Copies of this chain bind each other. A is one copy, B any other.
Amino acid sequence: MRDNNSDLRVIRTKESIRDALVELIDEKGFEAITVKDITTRAKINRGTFYAHYQDKYDLMTKFEEEIMFEMSRIAKQNFPGVIAALGTNSPTLAPFSLAVSLFEYLNENNGFMKAVLGPKGDLSFQTRLKDFMWKTIYGNDVNAIIKEENLLVPGQYLISYIASAHIGVIQQWLNSGMKESPQEMARILSTITVNGPLFAAGLKK
């Protein structure tokens, strides 16, 4: 058999397409991009694009899925420790190291992440990223820690609050030049989440 994806021409082509995509999202926004834009920038024939992807959405989805898969892997790796820590009196250590790992991954893929999470990015990715956080929070035996009867607000809103807040901070970090280290970002997020926004603002003791 010879139908593998190891043909150098395929690898080269796909890489050119991805590079072109990231550049173009930054320049004109994902939705304004045409397949012709991509192939012109990637210096390949338009027909070649359609040999690999159905359309620009298919391309984007496949790209995003790889990113999500990797983030999921990192999360799964660190989650047992997080669950264990949440029950204790110092619920910041394990979540902190998970956050650091994720920020390091974002840092490595900052070209794509900045483009896709930016103001000209892809709304569906942000939606999927929130879904991912939902499932990560809800699906991982958190029920063992967080009991419905202890919640002061409906669970769905609490999760939406936390997930959106975290993504918002990530976006701000990416768009303002990633000047803080992954460690510092993890500290910022856990400070606000553990103590609350008002405390972090110095308005509450």
Q: Which residues of A are in contact with B by a Cβ distance under 8 Å?
A: 31, 86, 91, 119-124, 126-127, 130, 145-147, 150-154, 156-158, 160-169, 171-173, 176, 180, 187-189, 191-204
Question: Are A150 and B196 in touch, CB under 8 angstroms?
Answer: no
Determine the distance from Cα of A146 to Cα of B165 in the docked complex, in whole angstroms.
20
Number of copies: 2
**A-B contact list, 20 entries, CB within 8 Å:** A91-B198, A91-B204, A119-B123, A123-B126, A152-B202, A153-B187, A153-B200, A156-B176, A157-B169, A157-B173, A158-B197, A161-B166, A163-B168, A164-B169, A165-B197, A168-B168, A193-B197, A194-B196, A194-B204, A195-B196
| Nearest CB of B to A100, in Å | 16
Chain B contacts for A165, CB-based, 8 A? 161-162, 164-165, 168, 197
Chain B contacts for A122, CB-based, 8 A? 123
